Amino acid sequence: MGRIHTRDALLKKHIVELCGAGCPECEARLETPDHLIFACPFACAFWAVLGVDTTGCSTRDLHLFDASATVGPASLYAFSLLCCWHLWKRRNMVVFRRESPSLATTLKACRFRSSEQDHVDAWLRVLCL
């Protein structure tokens, strides 16, 4: 919905100047949600490794984002949101910690860990009343 605080939003709120509104990862003049999630070279590589076609995708239409060819219909929305969340978290690591997690590290962050199985089971119990 364009509500995350990418640099274009900070520019609109006069928190940064135009010269500081670019992508922290590449040469894009404006960091927008669409750029961060779908167009930045890192994001493109991320989705390409997963085999997800992001042609024409927009964060405003995230509910229409179709990764079913990769993950099937069962966890389609959770998968998409989880991937977007970790792209956002990675961006924040670049901006605030001056770290640059690799593609492999970002992909690994998207995995459920076996230690989280208890949480998944608890959610399923609650949501399957």
Residues that bind Zn ion in the complex, under the rule CB under 5 A: 23, 25-26, 28, 40
Minimum CB separation from Zn ion for residue 16, in Å?
15
Q: Which is nearer to Zn ion, 40 or 83 (CB)?
A: 40
Other beta carbons within 10 Å of 82: 15
Token readout for 40 is: 């930045």
Q: Which is nearer to Zn ion, 41 or 72 (CB)?
A: 41
Longest dimension (CA), the chain: 52
DSSP 115: G
Write phi, then psi, for 110 (nearest 5 degrees). Answer: -80, -10
Q: Is 16 helix (H, G, I), strand (E, B) or coil?
A: coil
Question: Is 29 in contact with 22 (CB distance < 8 Å)?
Answer: yes
Q: Which is nearer to Zn ion, 40 or 57 (CB)?
A: 40
Q: Which is nearer to Zn ion, 46 or 79 (CB)?
A: 46
Minimum CB separation from Zn ion for residue 39, in Å?
7
Minimum CB separation from Zn ion for residue 21, in Å?
12
Minimum CB separation from Zn ion for residue 66, in Å?
23
